[in-house]
Amino acid sequence: MTIQIAILAKQVLDTEIPSDQFKINENGNNLETKGNNSPIINGFDLNATEAALKLRDDGHDVNITVIMAGDGFFLDIIKKPLSMGADNLVLLQDESLVGCGSTFTVKALSSVIDKIGPFDIILAGRHASDFDNGHVPIGIAETINLPIITYASEIKIKNNHLMIKRITLNGYQIIETSFPCIITVSNEIGEPRYPNLRGIMTATKKNPKIFSFRDLGLDEQKEDLIQLERIFIPENNLNTEFITGEDESEIGRNLAIRLKEEGLI
């Protein structure tokens, strides 16, 4: 039996770009870069890709489809999961998906899953590095009525069941579940593998399957329950006072005096 796996991935701004290279597009309510900086695939989504590939490494027959929603895709960037070993790439492409709220993204991705599925496992990163919300996988689980396990650090298949090691604040849990289900993956799953030359060459020959809103019947369903009102950089009006002294002991005494003057001790 071939296990059908979907991976939800997102193209995001490169998190390694210096902060002075970012700018806010107030008209579009989204972030942009000032230079010719290329985007990246969200790191946690690459962890999810690695989780799927590890199931193949364990000897399971898996077919891996990466699904992305957005616009302005950089083809050489978004093909990275293919070069790592994923089988298919599906894009839902529309400018309305840039800067939209998570509820509309949930509706759009759920429609893609319904169109090309069913899937036995749907994997996603624990959250995206641009807004850190983590709403989409949970919303999709609610929309298509599937159980969801979050923060997975290990996924195994045993006796046609999934065994998932889930990270918690105080350790971990072992959760057993059946197919189908949704799993969000944390970076503890392991570093994403580097694509080899064969994988890169294979990826260059594969073209993504592209859907529009019309293909999914979403033309008249662009209402978003969550509205992004404004993106802005918080103003910082704090003043920093440096405590000086002849040596560390005097600096410590002066600090204690200053804190007492302010009523903090």
DSSP 246: S
Q: What is the pLDDT of residue 220?
A: 59
* Mean pLDDT calculated for residue range 72-97: 90
Asked whether 123 and 113 are in contact (CB, 8 A), the reply is: no
Q: What is the pLDDT of residue 27?
A: 66
Q: Is the pLDDT of residue 146 over 70?
A: yes
Q: Is the pLDDT of residue 148 over 90?
A: yes
**Which percentage of the chain shows pLDDT scores above 70?**
91
pLDDT tens track for 193-238: 999 999 999 999 999 999 988 888 876 566 666 667 777 777 777 7
Q: Is the pLDDT of residue 29 over 80?
A: no
Q: Is the pLDDT of residue 28 over 80?
A: no
- Residues 53, 54, 60: CA angle, nearest 5 degrees: 85
Q: What is the pLDDT of residue 223?
A: 61
pLDDT tens track for 102-127: 788 888 899 999 999 899 999 999 88
Between residues 100 and 182, the one the model is more confident about: 182
Neighbouring C-beta atoms of residue 107, cutoff 10 Å: 20
Q: Which of 27-31, 154-158, 232-236, 256-260 has the highest mean pLDDT?
A: 154-158
pLDDT tens track for 161-205: 999 999 999 999 999 999 999 999 999 999 999 999 999 999 999
* Mean pLDDT calculated for residue range 245-253: 91
- Residue entry with tokens 């971990």: 172
Average pLDDT over the chain reads 87
DSSP 194: P
Model pTM?
A: 0.81
Q: What is the pLDDT of residue 224?
A: 60
In CATH, the number for domain 3-216 is 3.40.50.620
Q: What is the pLDDT of residue 90?
A: 96
Portions of the chain given CATH number 3.40.50.620: 3-216
pLDDT-based confidence at residue 52 (cuts at 50, 70, 90): very high
DSSP 195: P
Q: What is the distance between the alpha carbons of residues 47 and 49, in angstroms, rounded to a whole number?
A: 5
Nearest Cα to Cα of residue 14 among 49, 40, 51: 40
* Mean pLDDT calculated for residue range 43-65: 95
